Structure 1
Amino acid sequence: MSAETLANDNLSTPANDDIHQLQTVNSSGNTVTLRDSVEVALKNYFAQLDGAPVTEVYQLVLSEVEAPLLEQVMKYTRNNQTKASTMLGLNRGTLRKKLKQYGLL
C-alpha cells in the first residue's frame, strides 16, 4: 500500500498488525528494528555519561521520539489532523496539544 493510498482515507493497513516490527535493512544487509536502534542510542547515551548523574531520562526519550514521530505522521497525512490522530490512536485534541508542545502547529 502506498503512502498516497493511506493519506487518502484508508487507515487500516497491514502495518497495524506489525506495529512492533518497524524495521529497515542497514548497509551490511542486516535487518535492524526501531527497537534495536533505540537500544543502541540509549547504550551510547549512558556510555557518554561516564557516571555523571542524570534525571528525567524517560521524558528525554519520549520527547526525542515523539517529536519526529508527530512530524513524520503529519507529513504522511498531509497535515490532516483527523487522519493523523486515527493513525496514531490519539484523539484529535491530544494530537493538537502535542503538536503545539513541539512547535508543530
Structure 2
Amino acid sequence: MPVNAVRLPANGANREALSQGQSALGECVSRTVRRYLADIGDADCGEGLHALVIREVEGPLLREVLAFHDGNQSRAAAALGINRATLRKKLTSLGLL
C-alpha cells in the first residue's frame, strides 16, 4: 500500500473490496461511479464519464490538499506530484486562485 493511502475499517459493503486490496479511496470512487451509472441507466452522460469524474474530483482534491498544507502551493504541488506552475494553472482555471 502506498505511504499516503488510508484504509478504513472494513464493514458491510466495504469488507469485500478492502479484502481484495482496494484502498478506501478506490472503494469510494467505485461505489460512487456504480451509483451514478445506476441512476442514469442507459442515458448518455454527455461529456463522457471520464471527463465528468475528473471535473467533479479535481477541484475538491486541489482545495483539500492546499488547505492541508496551509495554502503553501509548493508543498501542495509536491504532495500532488505536479509542478507548482501546473498547480497554479489548475487553480486559476477552476477559479480557486
TM-score higher than 0.5 = yes
Tell me, what secondary structure is at the counterpart of 2:78?
Answer: helix
Unaligned residue ranges in structure 2 (runs of 5+): none
Which residue does the alignment assign to 1:12?
none
Write 1 or 2 for the structure with the bigger share of strand. 1
Structure 1 residue runs without a partner (length 5+): 1-14
* Displacement after TM superposition at 1:27 (Å): 7.5
TM-score normalised by the chain length of structure 2? 0.76
CA RMSD between the two structures:
2.4
Identity %: 34
Q: CA deviation at 1:26?
A: 7.0
Secondary structure class of the residue paired with 1:85: helix
Runs of 4 or more, structure 1, over 3 Å off, are: 25-28
List aligned pairs for 1:90-101, cutoff 5 A: 90-101=82-93
Name 2:94's counterpart in structure 1. 102
Q: Aligned pairs, how many?
A: 89
Deviations along 1:60-80, whole A, 9 cap, x unmatched? 111222111100111011111
* TM score, norm. by length of structure 1: 0.71
Q: Residue 43 of structure 1 corresponds to which residue in structure 2?
A: 34
